[in-house]
């Protein structure tokens, strides 16, 4: 358990994946802010194992939510390469799903149940 990731954590993860952060330098702050906001908005802090009713603003963030922020920030950064949801290569193209299944798996445990 730790705190929410910071932009440097995303930069470190990108460099560990051999992705140049200089390519995304202008878009990284925005992508990180959006990813953090989306994950914090999706996750219900009352579902965290260390949530304390007496001090509701102090809690440890599960590692899976930290990773969800980093993965979503990376997806938002690379989204510019596929604005229509299709990535093209030399002889073929791949359609990108609207929701990343890894992100959904990481965040789903901390989403409150919703009634439609």
Give CA–CA dist 30/37, Å, rounded: 11
Mean pLDDT for the chain? 76
Tens of pLDDT, residues 2-32: 778 888 888 888 888 777 777 777 888 888 8
Give CA–CA dist 15/88, Å, rounded: 24
Write down the pLDDT at residue 61: 80
Q: What is the DSSP string of 9-75?
A: HHHHHHHHTT--TTTTTTTHHHHHHHHHHHHHHHS-GGGSTT--SSSTT--PBPHHHHHHHHHHHHH
Other C-beta atoms closer than 10 Å to the C-beta of 93 total 9
Write down the pLDDT at residue 20: 74
Pick the closest to residue 77 from 6, 17, 14 (CA basis): 14
């Amino acid at each position: 358990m730790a705190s929410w990731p910071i932009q440097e954590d995303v930069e470190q993860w990108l460099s560990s994946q051999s992705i140049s952060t200089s390519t995304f330098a202008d878009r990284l702050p925005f992508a990180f802010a959006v990813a953090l906001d989306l994950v914090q908005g999706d996750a219900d802090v009352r579902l965290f194992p260390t949530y304390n009713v007496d001090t509701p603003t102090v809690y440890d963030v599960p590692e899976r939510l930290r990773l969800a922020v980093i993965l979503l920030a990376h997806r938002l950064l690379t989204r510019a390469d596929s604005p229509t949801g299709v990535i093209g290569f030399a002889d073929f193209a791949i359609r990108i799903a609207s929701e990343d299944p890894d992100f959904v798996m990481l965040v789903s445990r901390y989403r409150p149940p919703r009634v439609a």
